[in-house]
Amino acid sequence: MVLTYNKCKITIEDNFINCVYAGPYDRKSWQITLTDMHICYKEESEEEVTFTVENIKELQFEMVNGGVRYQDIPACIAYVILKADTNPQKLFYFSIHEDYVLLNQTKAYDFCNQILKHIGERYSIPIIYKLSVDTKEKQNISAFVAVYPFILFAIIALLYFLTHQQ
């Protein structure tokens, strides 16, 4: 099966998935090789990442804005959730330049869903779409945002007391 839309081409075969898409600045590509025991992801100029199928609990994906600066480009990020480690690990990412109203009504959403459906059906792994996948990076940012106002208030109060001492 070949999925094509606006400079994004995804080829899905029984044991191989290949994706080529237009990134914000240049062309990007990655491939996934499916074996009986492993899912192997290889992005150009990066090391291969391998997941053992029996250790996978589920596959999750989310839609995000993949644009930079003033661009608004729908992008999907797929994650592997392992049975032993519930911290999501990135499986793949791609974006498609397209106009949209809702992220879950884009070609990027549809293509990502078809890729994960192919993998999920092959290995009997459940697929879940989430509005936001809770990664460690997002949890760290949330903690910082929650604590930041208190730190800022303490600094302002300290400066106020230091400048108004007699």
DSSP conformation letters of 35-52: -SSEEEEEETTS--EEEE
Sheet holding 8-12, edge to edge: 2-5, 8-12, 16-22, 27-34, 38-43, 49-52
Between 151 and 129, whose confidence is greater? Answer: 129
Looking at the predicted structure, is the pLDDT value of residue 142 above 80?
A: no
- CATH code of 72's domain: 2.30.29
- Asked whether residue 147 falls in the same domain as residue 114, the answer is no
Q: What pLDDT is recorded for position 64?
A: 86
The 3-state DSSP composition of the chain as helix, strand, coil percent (nearest 5) reads 30, 40, 30
Half-sphere exposure of 18 (CA within 13 A, CB side): 7
Structurally, the chain folds into a number of domains equal to 2
- Asked whether residue 154 falls in the same domain as residue 124, the answer is no
Global confidence as pTM: 0.77
Quote the mean pLDDT of the chain: 85
Q: Which domain holds residue 40?
A: 2-132
Helix or strand (DSSP H, E) at 75: strand 74-82
- Asked whether residue 55 falls in the same domain as residue 77, the answer is yes
- Asked whether residue 16 falls in the same domain as residue 79, the answer is yes
- Asked whether residue 24 falls in the same domain as residue 102, the answer is yes
- Asked whether residue 88 falls in the same domain as residue 159, the answer is no
Q: What pLDDT is recorded for position 9?
A: 96
**109: CB partners within 8 A, 6+ apart:** 63, 74, 76, 103, 129
Looking at residues 32-40, what average pLDDT do you find?
A: 96
- Asked whether residue 69 falls in the same domain as residue 146, the answer is no
- Asked whether residue 117 falls in the same domain as residue 151, the answer is no
